[in-house]
Amino acid sequence: MEPIFTDKAAEPSDEQLKQQFKTTYPYFKKLLELSSHHKQEWKYYGKKYGWSFKVSNKKRAVFYITPQQGQFQVGLAINEEDKEAILNSSICEQVKKELSSSKKYIEGYPIRQDIKKEEDIELIIQILKLIDRL
C-alpha cells in the first residue's frame, strides 16, 4: 500500500490520523497507551515511505506504525530468542508460518500486520506481550 503522509514538512496530526485511520483509529490509540512507557516519536523516512510512528526503548525499536488509507500497519523485528518463543507459543499458525519462512535482516525477522479489525490489534498485542515488549 502507498504511504499517505509523504510531506516532510508536515508531521501527521491527530485529526489527520482520525480521518485516515477511520474505524481503526481507536486501535492506534490503544497501542499508544500500552506503550506509553517507551519513547514514542514520528520519524520521516523519505518520499517513498513517508512518516512512520516509532516506539523504542533505550536499546532498540519496539515496533513501528505505518499509516495507510483506512488502516495502519504494525511492523517489528524479532530476534532469534523471540522467534523461538513465538514458534513455541499458542500464537496463530499463520504468524508462525510467516515467521519461520521469513528472511533474517540485520534488525531481525520481520513481522508486519495490517490493522483493519480488532482481531488484528489483539494479535499484535499478544505478540508484543509474549516477547516482553509491552
Q: Are strands 39-44 and 51-56 parallel, antiparallel or unpaired?
A: antiparallel
What is the number of alpha carbons within 13 Å of residue 77 lying toward its C-beta? 13
Instruction: Determine if the pTM surpasses 0.75.
Output: yes
Residue 39 lies in a domain: yes
**pLDDT at residue 2 tops 80:** no
pLDDT digits (tens, 9 = 90+) for 80-111: 999 999 999 999 999 999 999 999 999 999 99
Question: For 39, phi and psi rounded to 5 degrees?
Answer: -70, 135
7 part of a folded domain = no
Calculate ∠ Cα 86-129-116, nearest 5°: 85
Number of structural domains in the chain: 1
Task: Quickly list DSSP for 88-134.
Answer: TSSS-HHHHHHHHHSPPBTTBEEEEEEE-SHHHHHHHHHHHHHTT--
Range of the domain at 45: 14-130
| Position 8 in a domain | no
DSSP character at residue 11: P
Is residue 118, in this structure, part of any structural domain at all? yes
The model's pLDDT over 21-57, given as tens digits with 9 standing for 90+, comes to 999 999 999 999 999 999 999 999 999 999 999 999 9
Q: What angle do CA 41, 99, 103 make, to 5 degrees?
A: 85
Of the pLDDT bands very low, low, confident and very high (cuts 50, 70, 90), residue 58 is confident
CA 10 to chain CA centroid, nearest Å: 21
